[in-house]
Amino acid sequence: MPLNSTSKSSPPPQVLMERCIRRPWEAYVEPFRMAPGVWYIAGNDWVACYLLETTDGLILIDTAMHENLYLLLQNIYKIGRTPFEIKKVLISHAHIDHMGAARALKELLPAAQFYLGERDLEFLHERPELIAGSPSVTWGLFEPDALYADDKPIVLGDFTVKTVSSPGHTPGCTSFFFDVTEKSGRVLTCGMHGGVGLNTLTREYFEEMRQPSSLRDEFIEGLKKLDLLEVDICLPSHTNQVGILPLRSQYSEEFNPFVDPSIWHELMNERLERTYALIAAGQ
Ligand SMILES: [Zn+2]
């Protein structure tokens, strides 16, 4: 499974978000399985959201944008479940494209537990301008019910999600890892880096948004640390980071086209190289 080379030359995030929310029919993606009990559920082809079917309800990883929430909810119904089964919502980081729909979801699911990385609380409480990409996009502030603690995995039913604080793209950015078991008994580790976008790691961004440039050092250290992990299925946080869409029709109980332990390392190293290139270019 090749990394999608278009991820290097894709349009700016703002352009892609506008396409998703203004012309959702062009971006819509049917739900598809990536592993047993693991669904790509986002309802768009840009921001990935995953639904985990545990033996005790559902876990949602990231919410995408408020404007696209109806498509995510529709996709949950399409796989024969209901949004009201969601017990935990794990947000990778406090950017509008990953948590834009969190407020609306919280209104819908008051009993669900919403999680966020502690260092992103500052975005919610003091720097909301760091969350929003555009004043024309609707979103709402919310308060998480719990903060991630890397020594306390999130457990629901038969799923145990291990979190790894991954500062850089945002200070509270968090990565997720969990195992699933195939019918054959083969155990597969799924991993999602919480945010590998370099758009918030340039000198210009740090200066303009008054963010510490040490975030770039943390990002580099984090990539090196995460590269040591073995991940069988690399779940991208933005769909085009890994070429998953062309492979979705090949998935069956007998064959999983997303299993490729090299992809995780390729993604970590590609981002490392691009970060070093930014530094070398003085950006
Ligand atoms: Zn982001």
Q: What's the CATH code of the domain at 210?
A: 3.60.15.10
Grouped pLDDT means (10 residues each) for the chain, 283 residues: 55 88 96 98 97 98 96 98 98 96 97 98 94 79 96 98 98 98 96 96 94 97 98 97 95 96 97 96 91
Task: With respect to residue 234, please indicate whether it lies within any of the assigned structural domains.
Answer: yes
Q: How far is the CA of 191 from the centre of ligand 1 (A)?
A: 17
Contact 103, 114 (CB under 8 A): no
Q: How far is the CA of 197 from the centre of ligand 1 (A)?
A: 6
The candidate with the shortest Cα–Cα distance to 39, out of 22, 29, 24, 53, is 53
H or E stretch at 215: helix 214-227
Q: How far is the CA of 155 from the centre of ligand 1 (A)?
A: 25
pTM comes to 0.96
Q: What is the C-alpha separation between 124 and 104, in angstroms, rounded?
A: 15
pLDDT at 5: 43
Task: With respect to residue 1, please indicate whether it lies within any of the assigned structural domains.
Answer: no
Q: How far is the CA of 109 from the centre of ligand 1 (A)?
A: 24
The candidate with the shortest Cα–Cα distance to 200, out of 242, 172, 165, is 172
Q: Which domain holds residue 53?
A: 10-280
- The number of distinct structural domains making up the chain is 1
Phi, psi of 19 (to 5 degrees): -60, -45
Q: How far is the CA of 206 from the centre of ligand 1 (A)?
A: 14
Q: How far is the CA of 13 from the centre of ligand 1 (A)?
A: 9
Task: With respect to residue 5, please indicate whether it lies within any of the assigned structural domains.
Answer: no
Q: How far is the CA of 30 from the centre of ligand 1 (A)?
A: 23
pLDDT at 132: 80
Coarse DSSP helix, strand, coil percentages of the chain, rounded to the nearest 5 percent = 40, 20, 40
The candidate with the shortest Cα–Cα distance to 196, out of 114, 269, 101, 121, is 269
Contact 98, 90 (CB under 8 A): no
Q: How far is the CA of 41 from the centre of ligand 1 (A)?
A: 18
Task: With respect to residue 54, please indicate whether it lies within any of the assigned structural domains.
Answer: yes
Contact 164, 216 (CB under 8 A): no
Task: With respect to residue 58, please indicate whether it lies within any of the assigned structural domains.
Answer: yes
- Angle between helix axes 261-280 and 214-227 (nearest 10 degrees) is 160
